Structure 1
Amino acid sequence: MNIRRSNERGYADHGWLRSYHTFSFANYMDPNHMGFRALRVINEDRVAPGHGFGAHPHRDMEIISYVLEGEMEHKDNMGNGEVMRPGDVQRMSAGTGVLHSEFNHSQENGLHFLQIWVEPAQRGVTPSYEQKAFPIAERQSQWRLVASQTGRDGSVSVNQDVNLYASLLGAGEQIATPPTRYAWLHVVQGAVEVNGETLNTGDAAAFTPGESFSVTATLATEVLLFDLA
Structure 2
Amino acid sequence: MTLEVRRAGSRYVTVEDGRETRHSFSFGPHYDPANLGFGLLVSHNDDLLAPGAGYPDHPHQEIEVVTWVLSGGLAHHDSTGGSGVLLPGQVQVMSAGTGVVHSEYAEAGAGPTRFVQTWVRPSAWGEAPAYASADVSPGSGWTAVVGGDGLPVRAPGATLWVSDAAAGDELVLPVVPHAHLFVATGAARLGDVDLAEGDAARMSDRGGDLTVTAPGQLMLWTFGA
Q: Percent identity?
A: 33
Q: What's the secondary structure of 2:94's corresponding residue?
A: strand
Gaps of 5+ in 2: none
Contact 1:192 1:219 in 2 (8 A): yes
- Structure 1's unaligned 5+ residue stretches are none
The residue correspondences of 1:125-136 to structure 2 (distance < 5 A) are: 125-135=127-137
Deviation, 1:77, is 1.1
Deviation at 1:51, TM superposition (A): 1.6
Report the Cα offset of residue 8 of structure 1: 0.7
> In structure 1, what residue type is equivalent to 2:33?
P
Q: How does the TM-score come out when normalised to structure 1?
A: 0.93
Number of residue equivalences: 221
Show the 5 A alignment for 1:81-120: 81-107=83-109, 109-120=111-122
TM-score between the two structures when normalised by the length of structure 2? 0.94
SS at match of 1:35: coil
1:130-177 superposed Cα distances (whole Å, 9 cap, x missing partner): 101112xxx2211000111xxx42x11111120111001111111123
8 Å contact from structure 2 (residues 54, 106) kept in 1: yes
Are residues 53 and 178 of structure 1, via their aligned partners in 2, closer, same or farther at CA, if it must alter by over 3 Å?
A: same
Identify which of 198, 204, 208 aligns with 2:204: 208
Does 1:9 pair with 2:5?
no
Matches within 5 A, 1:1-229: 1-107=3-109, 109-135=111-137, 139-148=138-147, 152-153=148-149, 155-161=150-156, 162-209=158-205, 211-229=206-224
Runs of 4+ in 1 over 4 A off after TM superposition: none
How many Å separate the matches in 1 of 2:71 and 2:110? Answer: 12
What is the aligned-residue RMSD (CA, Å)? 1.2
